[in-house]
Structure formats: C-alpha cells, structure tokens
Amino acid sequence: MARLPVASLLPADSPRRHGIDQEHVRLLAESGDELPPVLVHRATLRVVDGMHRLHAAVLRGHDSIDVEFFDGAESEIFLQAVRANVVHGLPLSLQDRKSAAVRLLQTHAELSDRALARVAGLSPKTVGAIRRCSGEENPHPNKRIGRDGRAHPMDTARRRQVAAEVIAERPEASLREVAALAGIAVSTAHEARRRLQEESAGSVTEAATATTQPRSSGERPGGKRVAAAVNSSGPPRAAKETIKAMLADPSLRLTQSGRELLRLLLTRAVEIGELDGFMEAVPAHSARRMADVAAEFARTWDKFGRDLRMRAKELEQ
C-alpha cells in the first residue's frame, strides 16, 4: 500500500453509466470512518476502483489518499473495475451490470458465459442471451476461458446448437450472419437451418394430420356411435387458407412458441355443427358445467383475437 497525492490520480472507465453518486460521496465524507485504499493502475495512475472514496477524501479536505496498485495490463482495467464494484461498495444496478457485460464481450469474448457472469454479477443464462444479441459485433473464437482460467474448446456440437438458437430467434438472418455468430462455416449453417426446418415441418404436419384425419361414419372417441354424422374436417373453412399460409411462415415455424401456436390452432379448431353429435354424450347433470367450460374457451380465444387486432393496429401506426 502507498499514499499518493489526490491530484496525481486520474479517473478510469467506470461501469457506472450515471457516473459519481454525489449523495453517496457525501455520506462517505460525513461518516468519519477511515476510507479504505483505492485501487490504482500502477502504470497509468488511473483509479480502477474507489472513485467515490477519492471524491469523499477531497470533500474532507485531504490532499492525499491511501492506494493499492493493480499491475495488470491496461486492457484489463475495465474488467477489474467491474469485478471490484460487483463485490463491494455502492452496488451496480442491473442495467450497469448488463452494460458492462456487453462491453466485456467486445474485449473478452474468449470468456465463457459462467466466467463472465461471475465477473459482472449476472447469471450465465443472462450473459448467454446478451452474447447472442450482441454477437454481430463480437468475435466468436473456438475456445472459451472458463471460471478456472483455462481455455476450453467449443466443440462442433455446441457450435451447431448455437447456430440453431440463432436461427430460431432470428429466422430472417442470412446464412453468413448465422455462421459468423456461431463460429461455423456457411455450409454448416445451411445444414443446421435445413434440419431445423425439417424438424419443425414434421412436428407441425403431424398435428395437422392428426386433426384432419376423418372419423369413420360419425364415430366419436371411445368407439361409440353418435346420432348425427360428424365430418371432422379440421379448422373452419374460412380459416383454412390463413392457417395454410401461416404454416409456411418461417417466423412461426422456426420458433418454439410459433410451432406451439400452430399446433394449438390445428388441434383445437372445429367447424360450426361439428360438435352437435357430441351433445348426447354429455349427461344432464354435467350439461351446465360443460357449457361453462365451452364458454370460457370461447372467451379466451375471443380475447386473444381482440388483443392481436389491437397489437396489429399499434404496429401499423
């Protein structure tokens, strides 16, 4: 530890987006406690950690302050500042930590999600999401540095998985973009997209086939006959063409939620009159409850439709 003149110290890049918190400085200055030493980069005399303490010392009228030295490379100053501010002092806000992660991904992309999460005080899942969103600007090396400080290669399977995640989240992305983000060849990105399309097409087609499979001559589930002949032809005729068009929309087919919505539409839609033959199957003591359930389903779909129309209007404005 050493003691240096306050005037000799320079500010470094801070992970705090809004800079110095003057109220916190005032509280430190008025506390009367001895201020812990600030962390200073030896080669540049830039304050890595402790700007609030430095300002508090000035407010107290001190012309010097205790310091500890950081001997790392200049490129490591910001990483060290984030690490120090996460574990003590005035807590970094969530947005401060996320912004710090974005910047660290630009300068330390070799760090694994877990290692970077530990530095920034975030979860590995959050860091992974930030990495995918900001990946266009970041290099994607074939190795990541883990929490143990060792380099771990990203195997082909992992890179293919990253490619599949990118395609699912950004179906409009070009193959070159997917390849760059996942660290794979364009041909490998093409293969990943083809496989994902085949998988999504298979799952959706399965649901469509199950829905449109005709029942034999008015037979209802369980093998018993019903009085009225029911033609289980799937979704209402007016909606069939719309659903057919949506089945070809990659924005729906290539996302998990999109595929689930398509399957829901295909397996839940019925034509007017199609359920008439099932009325005799409902016992009298359950008729009102069944009617309430049906009405609730109708209200749910009606609200979903109204909300969608409102959202469409907002997006068109």
Count the domains in the chain: 2
| CATH number of the domain that residue 56 is part of | 3.90.1530
Residue-wise DSSP of the chain: -EEEEGGG-EE---S-TT---HHHHHHHHHH-PPPPPEEEETTTTEEEE-HHHHHHHHHTT-SEEEEEEE-S-GGGHHHHHHHHHHHSSSPPPHHHHHHHHHHHHHH-TTB-HHHHHHHHT--HHHHHHHHHHTGGGS---SEEE-TTS-EEE--HHHHHHHHHHHHHH-TT--HHHHHHHHT--HHHHHHHHHHHHHHHHHHHHHHHHHHHPPPSTTBPTTS-B-SS------S-HHHHHHHHHHHT-HHHHTSHHHHHHHHHHHHH---TTTTGGGGGGS-GGGHHHHHHHHHHHHHHHHHHHHHHHHHHHHHH-
pLDDT tier at 13, thresholds 50, 70, 90:
confident
Hey, what are 143's tokens? 């190795």
Residue 222 falls in which region: left (phi positive, over 0), alpha (psi -120 to 50) or beta? left
Structural domain includes residue 140? no
Mean per-residue pLDDT, 11-33: 88
pLDDT tier at 298, thresholds 50, 70, 90:
confident
pLDDT tier at 156, thresholds 50, 70, 90:
low
Work out the percent of the chain whose per-residue pLDDT is above 70: 72
Q: Which of 50, 74, 92 is the last residue before a domain boundary?
A: 92
Task: For helices 94-107 and 124-133, give the axis angle rounded to 10 degrees.
Answer: 60
Q: Do residues 221 and 232 lie in contact, with contact meaning Cβ atoms separated by under 8 Å?
A: no
Q: What's at 28, amino acid-wise?
A: L
First-to-last alpha carbon distance for the chain, in angstroms, is: 62
Structural domain includes residue 201? no
Structural domain includes residue 109? no
Q: How far apart are CA 303 and CA 181, in angstroms?
A: 38
Q: How far apart are CA 79 and CA 203, in angstroms?
A: 45
Q: Do residues 99 and 17 lie in contact, with contact meaning Cβ atoms separated by under 8 Å?
A: yes
Render pLDDT for 117-145 as a digit per residue (tens, 0 to 9): 999 999 988 988 888 876 534 444 555 55
Q: What's at 209, amino acid-wise?
A: T
Higher pLDDT pick, 106 / 262: 106
Task: For helices 22-31 and 51-59, give the axis angle rounded to 10 degrees.
Answer: 60
Domain limits at 67?
Answer: 1-92
Structural domain includes residue 143? no
Render pLDDT for 36-89 as a digit per residue (tens, 0 to 9): 999 999 999 999 999 999 999 999 999 999 999 999 888 899 999 999 988 877
Structural domain includes residue 76? yes
Scored b (16 or more CB within 10 A) or e, 28-47 reads: bbeeeeebebbbbbeeeebb
Q: Which of 92, 126, 158 is the last residue before a domain boundary?
A: 92
Structural domain includes residue 18? yes
Structural domain includes residue 40? yes
Q: How far apart are CA 63 and CA 59, in angstroms?
A: 10
Render pLDDT for 183-242 as a digit per residue (tens, 0 to 9): 777 888 888 888 777 766 555 555 555 544 554 444 444 444 333 333 444 445 556 667
Q: How far apart are CA 126 and CA 99, in angstroms?
A: 12
Structural domain includes residue 68? yes
Pairing of strands 64-70, 10-11: unpaired
Would you say the pTM of this structure is higher than 0.75? no
Q: Which of 92, 124, 150 is the last residue before a domain boundary?
A: 92
